[in-house]
Amino acid sequence: MAVYKYFGPGCSMFGYGCVEGLGEELSRRAYEKALVVTDKSIVELGIAAKIISVLDGAGIGHAIFSEVKPNPTVANVKAGLALLKAEGCDFIVTIGGGSSHDCGKAIGILAANGGEVEDYKGVDKSAKKSLDIVAVNTTAGTGSECTRAYVISDEEKRTKTGIKDRNALATIAVNDHSLMMSLPKKLTAATGMDALVHAVECYISKNGFMLTSELALAAIRCVFSWLPEAVRSPSNERAREGMAVAEYLAGLAFGNGGVGMVHATSHQLSAIYDLPHGLCNAILLPPVMRFNKRAAAGKLAEIGRFLRPLEAEGKDDETMADLAIAEFERLSAEIGTLVRLRTLGVKEEDFGLLAEKALMDGSMGNNPVQPTVQDVMDVLASVY
């Protein structure tokens, strides 16, 4: 017997400018006042104002919490929750990449269930559904708008708490690529690689299943089709749409099939040095896959054959797995995410600590092979 559960938002919206149609969608529900959860850059870009005008148009009030940090913190969640209560908001609109959605999920779960963030560490620990969340996505990477996963950092303890909770799923996920057109090249590249890592790690995950594998392959295909062009020509609408679809497919995949050692290690880099999640993932993808080849050569070879069918004839798994990894590395080099950890301020003397923490990360259990502390240190050293 095998029981695999697959969760996704009941309603998602796509299309250039589709956020304009969100008012009609919200009007179907009895919402009165939104807590808008976002960050300063989204406010400065005018994206928050755009969504607020949609709320206004639908006769829905709002309060705004725009203090979300790139790696959202326990303090962010507490402050947002306090505002939600003080303002009497009855649903949450999150605007951003992963951070705002993650923060909004934590606020929504605490608003409905009480307690502290860490009470919900693990899988499906809450009793009640979060306050409704409308997740408006502004980057094409994290997939947080369509997953039940969220990660909150504890600044004091310098740890990240990873939570999977079906009750935290967004009610409506909005992927309007018109909101992604102004994403700078670097962020486009890093978030796009994040989507690729989700898909690849899910494809080889011990907890993946056939549906998540198919979604992951589709996501991989989209990333290779559209990411180079989205980075090269940020105003290419079709490429932006392709990446919005890629990251959503990757989100559905890894949100249900899991991620592995890349994430387990990357979480520690961003917790300790406050580094961007997508960039850390991009850097770690090739070396981790080289390490994983001992247990996942067959699966990696399938990705190789899918990406390069013309070169697959008569090639063994080892060769095709290498070809897949070479493709990841080539793409990363092309879009500028193939950088060294030393250039980001990572210190060699922290490798031991990083590796120890990585082994305890919730994502590591999905990895096809369990590394030792030395294995993780070797991976870090190879891209230092």
Q: Which residues bind a copy of itself (CB under 8 A)?
A: 1-18, 20-21, 25, 166, 169, 209-211, 214-215, 217-218, 221-222, 241-242, 245, 248-249, 309-310
Find the shortest distance in angstroms from Cβ 105 to a copy of itself.
15
Find the shortest distance in angstroms from Cβ 380 to a copy of itself.
35
List 65's β-bridge partners, or say none.
37
Nearest to 277 by CA among 291, 287, 262, 255: 262
d(CA 22, CA 172): 9
> How long is the chain?
384
Are 155 and 75 spatial neighbours (Cβ–Cβ below 8 Å)?
yes
CB closer to a copy of itself out of 86 and 210: 210
CB closer to a copy of itself out of 116 and 214: 214
CB closer to a copy of itself out of 149 and 355: 149
What does each C-alpha distance from 299 to 194, 317, 368 come to in angstroms? 19, 8, 10
CB closer to a copy of itself out of 15 and 70: 15
d(CA 302, CA 220): 12
Tokens of 244: 């919005």
Find the shortest distance in angstroms from Cβ 317 to a copy of itself.
18
CB closer to a copy of itself out of 162 and 242: 242
d(CA 246, CA 226): 9
Residue type, 251: G
Which residues, including other chains, have CB under 8 Å from residue 156's CB and lie 6 or more apart? none
CB closer to a copy of itself out of 214 and 356: 214
Find the shortest distance in angstroms from Cβ 104 to a copy of itself.
18
- Neighbour-count burial of 105, counting CB atoms closer than 10 A to its CB (0-12 exposed, 13-18 middle, 19+ buried): buried
Find the shortest distance in angstroms from Cβ 316 to a copy of itself.
19
Other CB atoms closer than 10 Å to residue 124's CB: what's the count? 15
d(CA 384, CA 371): 18
CA angle 361, 363, 368 (to 5 degrees): 120
Find the shortest distance in angstroms from Cβ 49 to a copy of itself.
18
Q: Three-state DSSP class for 100? A: helix
Find the shortest distance in angstroms from Cβ 248 to a copy of itself.
7
CB closer to a copy of itself out of 172 and 331: 172
CB closer to a copy of itself out of 5 and 294: 5
Other CB atoms closer than 10 Å to residue 302's CB: what's the count? 20
Find the shortest distance in angstroms from Cβ 140 to a copy of itself.
12
